[in-house]
Structure 1
Amino acid sequence: MKKISTIIALLSVLVTASAQQVKLGDKNTITIHSSKENINRTIYLQLPKNYGIENKRYPLIILFDAQDKSLYNLTSSIIDRMTWTNDIPEAIFLGVVQNNRSQELNFEKSEQTTKIFLDFIKNDLLDYVNKNYKANGYVTLIGHSLGGQFVTNAMVSYPEIFPSVISISGALNYPNKDNTINSKVISKVERYLSATSVSSLKKQKYYFSSGDNGFQESGFKSGALKVDSLYKLHKHNVVNWQFDFLKGYNHMTTPLHGIPAGLAFVFKDWYISDSLAMDVLIYHKTSPSVVLKDKKINIAKSYGVNISLPRNALFQFAEYSLSQGKIDDAEALTKNLLNEYPDDEEVYGLMAEIFVKKGDISNAIKYYERAQSKSVTNKHAEKIKDLKKDQLKSLK
C-alpha cells in the first residue's frame, strides 16, 4: 500500500507539471532607434505566455542573427520546451536582426563598427526593454558563428552588463590562416581572465562549444580549444564555464546541442532537480522550507537578482506541507504563490483548504469563491455549499 501511495504522489507531481504548461507568446516585431548609428533596428520580441497576468519580473535572453529564421525558430522552441520542463525560468526572448552581420558582429575585421553595435545593445536596447517590460536585469546573450565571437567580446568588454554568454561555434579564431591562432578576441579573453577579480569571475557564466566536422569547424575548433585551455589555466579562480567539443557536429548542426546545453548550464543554479523534489515529496529527507531557503540564497549569489522559482514546485511543496500538518509553512508558501500568480484558480483553492484545516470557515468560503471566480467550471460550488451549511450549523 505504501508503494502505491508513493507512485500516486510522484504521478501527481508529473501531472501538475504538464497541466501547467507555459510557453512563449507570439512573436512581435519592435523597432528601436540606434542613437550612435542614427538608424532604426528591427527586434523580434516574445514574452512569456502569461506575461502581464503573473506578478513577477523575468530574465532576458538575446539571440543574434535572428534574420536566420531557422536559428531563431529553433531557439524559440528550445526556450518553450525548457520553460515547460522547468529546466530554465520563464524569460523575455529577443531576436536581433542584423543589417550587416560582418560589420556588426566581426570584431576581428570591423572593430569600430562592432563597438558601435555593442553600444546599441548595452545602451539603447537594454534601456528600451528595462523601461517598457518587466525585465529583472539578468541578461543572457546567445550567438552562433560570428555571433559567438561577438557575444564573447561583449562578455569580456562589459562583464557586469552581460553576466552570462552562450557561444556556439564561435568564430574565435577568425580569420584563420594556416590554422594559427591570431585573434584579438582570444587575447582579450586572456587579459580578462588574468586581470578580473576572483569574485567577479565566479559570477560570470560562459558556455562555448565547437564541432569537429567540416571546413569551418576545422578552423573554429582551434580557437575554442585555445580558450578552453585559458580557462583551465585559471580554473582556481573560475568555476562557471563549460566547453563542449561536439564530435561529429558541423557548423550548422552545433546549435542543436549547444543552445539547450548552454541554457541548462546558465540556469543550473536556479533549477530544482527531480531528485531534490523527490527528496522532499517522496523520500521526506528534507523539508520544503529548507530547500527553498537554500535555493533562494544560491540564486542571489549566482545571479545577483531574484529569479522566481517554478510555480509547480512551489505548489507541490505547499500541498506537501499541508499534508504533513505544517499549516503555517503551507500558508506562507501559498501566500507567495498568490502574490506571483494572482489569477491562479488552483492556488486560491489550496488557500481555501488551508483555512478549512485551520477551522476558519469564513476565510475558506472566501477563497473557494475566489477560486470559483477564476474557474471555467463549477468544481468549487459544492465545497462552498457544504461549508456554508457547516457555518450555518455552527451559528445555530
Structure 2
Amino acid sequence: MKINAGVTNGIMKIYSLTILLIVILSCRLSAQQQSLNEKKIVSLPSQAEQVDHKIFIQLPKSYGHSKMRYPVIVIFDAHDPTLFDYTSAVVDRLMSTKDIPEAILVGVCQKDRGKELGVERSEITSMKFLQFIKDDLVVYLRSNYNIADYFTFIGHSLGGQFVSDAMMKYPEIFKSVISISGALNYPANNQEYNFYKRKVLTQMEKYVKSKVSIGIPQKYYFSVGDDGMQDSMFRLGALTADSILTSSNPAFLKWHFDEFKGFNHMTTPLVSIPAGLCFIYQDWHFSDSLAMDVLSTQKTDPIDALNKQQLKIKQSYGTDIALPDFLYDQFANFYLDKGNLVKAKYIADQIIISHPNDDAPFALMADILIKQGNKKGAIENLKRAQSNSSIEKYKEKIADLDKP
C-alpha cells in the first residue's frame, strides 16, 4: 500500500536536516558523534566469491550498556567516504532526535561495483555478491552482535538496482529497502546502455502479483531527481516502478516514492537517506502529538500508550525494537507526580530490566520507594545507582536516608 502522509513531517524538515548535515560534514565530522561510536573495520570472506570484503561497523554508544537488541542499517558503496560519512551523520542525527531507533550501521565496501551491484549487466556475479550478503554478512552480524534481526538496506544508483532486485528475491532478509536514483532502466533507444533489459522492473511486475507473505509488511522507499543527465534517464525507471506499484497497490508492501525537483544523481542521497529512514521507521516513532495526549491533555494512559506502540512495532517490524528511554522516564515521573506509585514503579522496573548497568533507573526507583515509605528499598536502589555511576553523587542521599 502506498504511504503518502506523515513520511517525513514535510519536505522542509528534510531540507533543513540536509543543510544541517552538510554543515556537519563540512567540519569533516570532527565533533564527536552523539549516538554512534567510531567505525570498526572488518574483513569478511565471501564463500560464493572467494574474496574478502571490507566492512565498516558502527555501534550505538549504548551498545553493551543495555539489554537492547538493535536493528541494522546497511549502506552499499561505503568505500566512498562522502557517502558513508554522510549516512553515518544522518543516522547519528536521527537517532539523537528519536526519529529512528538506535541501530547498528554497517557499510559494505565494493571491490568492483559494476559486477557486484549490476543486476542488469552482470547477473551472475551480482548473484554471487547477493549470496555473500545473505549467507555471510547477515549470518556474521546475527552471530556476533545483539541485533533485533530487522535489516534496512540502502543503495544508490547501481546499489538501488541491487537492493530493489534483492528485496524480491529474498524478502525475508530484505524486509526494508531504500533505493536512491536506482538504475532501473534507460530509454530503449540509448545504444550506450543497451544492456538494460528491464529485468528488475519485469520482476517487479510479477512480484506485486505474487501475494508474498513474510508475516509483516515489507517496506520499499525509492527516489529520483529530475536534474542532470543521469537522473533524467533513471527517472524513466523510477516512474515505471511507481506506475507498477500504484496500479497493483500490493497489500504486503508499504512503499513511498519521492521525485526531488532540482536534485541530480549525486545530490539525491542528501535528501533521500533521511527521508527514506523516516519512512521506514514511521511506525516506530512515538509522535509528539501522542506524547502530548499522554502528558498534557491526558487523553491516553501512559502505560496503555506504551503497550499500543510496542504492539504496533511488533506488527510492523516482526520484532521488538526498544522505544526511547526518555519516554519511560517521562511517563514514570508523570505517574510519580500524580501519586500513582504502583504504575510509576511498574515503568521504573521496565527501565531497570533493559538498562541494568545505568544509574538513573535505580535512582528513579529510589524516589518512588521513598514516597512509598520504603527507606530500606530506596537505600538499596541508591547503592545500585552509585555502583553504576562514575561519580559519588548518591552518597549524601544514602547517608540522609540511613539516619535513624
3-state DSSP of counterpart to 1:231: helix
3-state DSSP of counterpart to 1:240: strand
Q: 1:240 aligns with which of 246, 254, 279?
A: 254
1:211 matched to 2:205? The reply is no
Measure how far apart 1:238 and its partner are: 5.0
Aligned match of 1:335: 349
Question: Distance in 2 between the 1:299 and 1:145 partners?
Answer: 30
Residue type of the alignment partner of 1:203: P
Q: Relative to total residues, which structure has the larger helix share, 1 or 2?
A: 1
Q: 1:48 aligns with which of 44, 60, 77?
A: 60
Question: Distance in 1 between the 2:52 and 2:324 partners?
Answer: 37
Aligned match of 1:302: 316
Aligned match of 2:8: none
CA contact (8 A) 1:168 1:210 kept: yes
Identity of aligned residues (%): 47
Question: Distance in 2 between the 1:340 and 1:177 partners?
Answer: 58
Aligned match of 2:393: 379
Measure how far apart 1:202 and its partner are: 6.1
3-state DSSP of counterpart to 2:285: coil
Q: How does 1:346-365 map to 2 (within 5 A)?
A: 346-365=360-379
Question: Distance in 2 between the 1:112 and 1:239 partners?
Answer: 27
Q: 1:72 aligns with which of 74, 84, 89?
A: 84
Question: Distance in 1 between the 2:254 and 2:215 partners?
Answer: 8
1:129 matched to 2:141? The reply is yes
Question: Distance in 2 between the 1:175 and 1:159 partners?
Answer: 28
Question: Distance in 2 between the 1:156 and 1:146 partners?
Answer: 16
Question: Distance in 1 between the 2:122 and 2:44 partners?
Answer: 23
Deviating more after overlay: 181-190 vs 369-378: 369-378
CA contact (8 A) 2:211 2:252 kept: no
3-state DSSP of counterpart to 2:208: helix
3-state DSSP of counterpart to 1:195: coil
Q: 2:179 aligns with which of 164, 167, 170?
A: 167
Distance 1:169 1:362, change over 3 A: same
1:157 matched to 2:172? The reply is no
1:98-133 alpha-carbon deviations (Å, 9 max, x no partner) = 000000001000001011100000011111111111
1:276-326 alpha-carbon deviations (Å, 9 max, x no partner) = 112111221111111111111111110001111111111111111221222
Distance 1:176 1:220, change over 3 A: farther
Measure how far apart 1:388 and its partner are: 1.3
Q: 2:74 aligns with which of 62, 66, 82?
A: 62
Question: Distance in 1 between the 2:125 and 2:58 partners?
Answer: 28
Question: Distance in 2 between the 1:202 and 1:170 partners?
Answer: 24
Measure how far apart 1:331 and its partner are: 1.3
Question: Distance in 2 between the 1:95 and 1:241 partners?
Answer: 24
Measure how far apart 1:377 and its partner are: 3.8
1:291 matched to 2:312? The reply is no
Aligned match of 2:17: none
Residue type of the alignment partner of 2:148: N
Question: Distance in 1 between the 2:179 and 2:325 partners?
Answer: 30
1:195 matched to 2:201? The reply is no
Aligned match of 1:367: 381
Aligned match of 2:37: 25
Question: Distance in 2 between the 1:268 and 1:194 partners?
Answer: 26
Aligned length: 369
Measure how far apart 1:28 and its partner are: 0.9
Aligned match of 1:143: 155
CA contact (8 A) 1:176 1:219 kept: no
Question: Distance in 2 between the 1:132 and 1:195 partners?
Answer: 34
CA contact (8 A) 1:231 1:238 kept: no
Question: Distance in 1 between the 2:113 and 2:310 partners?
Answer: 39
Q: How does 1:8-19 map to 2 (within 5 A)?
A: none
Q: How does 1:76-95 map to 2 (within 5 A)?
A: 76-95=88-107
- Give the unaligned 5+ runs of structure 1: 1-20
Residue type of the alignment partner of 2:185: N
